[in-house]
Amino acid sequence: MKSPVRHLFTVLLATALVAGCSSGQQSAEQRGWVEDEVSFTDSSGLTLHGTYRHHGDDPGPAALLISESGQTDRNGDNAVAGPVGNMRQLAEYLSDKGIASLRYDKVGTGKTGLGPYAQRPADVGSAAYSAGARAAVRYLAGRPGTDGARISVYALGEGTVHAMTLADDIEPDAPKIHSLGLFQPLPGRYLDIISARVRVDVDAAVQGGAKTPEQAKTVLDAWAAAVAEARTRGTAPAKLPDGLGAILNAGNVKAVVEADGIDPLALAAKLPTGTPVLLTCSDSDGQASCESVRPLTASLKHTALTVVELKGVNHVLRDDPSDNVANYAKPGPLSAQLVTALDTFVTK
């Protein structure tokens, strides 16, 4: 049986979402919206493939959609959770609001694949994902149907980190980001999030009689030492108790340390003052509970921030209070609570 900590790590590194053709998609296509298969190249030489959903070349608002972490493709489909499709549904929703969109297969997913990383897959980490996002938003900004003053970015989970890097980008060719949608965002540094979950699980084991206090201390001490080793030396212990070696090991330590080096609170603090930001959290989301994201919302206080506390909504933005990964790929619409929030936000 998979432990709760391993479950959390699996979802953090590889979350997902997809569903069938919705009535919104059908009505949008009736009004002339089309989906083009497109490609563009990032700074590493990787060719990324995506879907550009648009309505002709008359300039209008456009949005970049960034999927969850790990092996999650342009539609939100994930190698672990299966076909979820929430990002495709989000694109359909936006076209109903007159907003063109670009969604893309991140490195290691879909048609994009590993490219130049094929012989060094361990090098795929946050820097590679950020490079892909930078290339994607520049491609979107260069489309004739994109109004450069109305580019928004919508992202889920760890994708929100890369969304914020785009809004913080000060390179001369960086498009200005008008607004950000941060859905169930990563609320802190990677290893801090994992450490908090380890403590919760170990405490529960003690309360339930599955561990003695002495055994719990051994586990917590071993994990704390592993985190310190990863952060200071970039290495991982050969063995860790309680299956924690599946979370941090020699094979993934490089990517984990790279992700851990990014502080979402620092990124949020650097966003341009007054940027419209929609942030969602949920009482049913074990990765982005409303309590856990409060420090992030504090770092966003200088923006035009809207916080929406969802009820009974899972991590893939559907109504499911269980937040069970096994349910992520079940067909269903985006939560009506999210849609209601977006109805107002997209007009800003």
Q: Where do the domains of the chain lie?
A: 4-189+262-345, 191-257
User: Locate tokens 């009004």: which residue?
Assistant: 31
* Strands (E) located in the chain: 34-41, 47-54, 60-66, 100-104, 146-156, 179-183, 276-282, 304-310
Q: Is 184 left (phi over 0), alpha (psi -120 to 50) or beta?
A: left
Put simply, whether the predicted model's pTM sits higher than 0.85 gets the answer: yes
Structure tokens at 188: 């802190």
pLDDT digits (tens, 9 = 90+) for 110-147: 999 999 999 988 888 899 999 999 999 999 999 999 99
- Give the model's pLDDT for residue 7: 46
- Give the model's pLDDT for residue 243: 92
Domain 4-189+262-345, classified CATH 3.30.70.120, yes or no: no
Cα separation, 194 vs 250, in Å, equals 17
Nearest alpha-carbon partner for 159 in 129, 123, 137: 129
For the beta carbon of residue 289, count every other beta carbon within 10 angstroms.
Answer: 16
Cα separation, 124 vs 121, in Å, equals 6
Structure tokens at 70: 């790990």
Residues of the chain predicted below pLDDT 70: 1-31
Pairing of strands 179-183, 304-310: unpaired
- Give the model's pLDDT for residue 30: 46
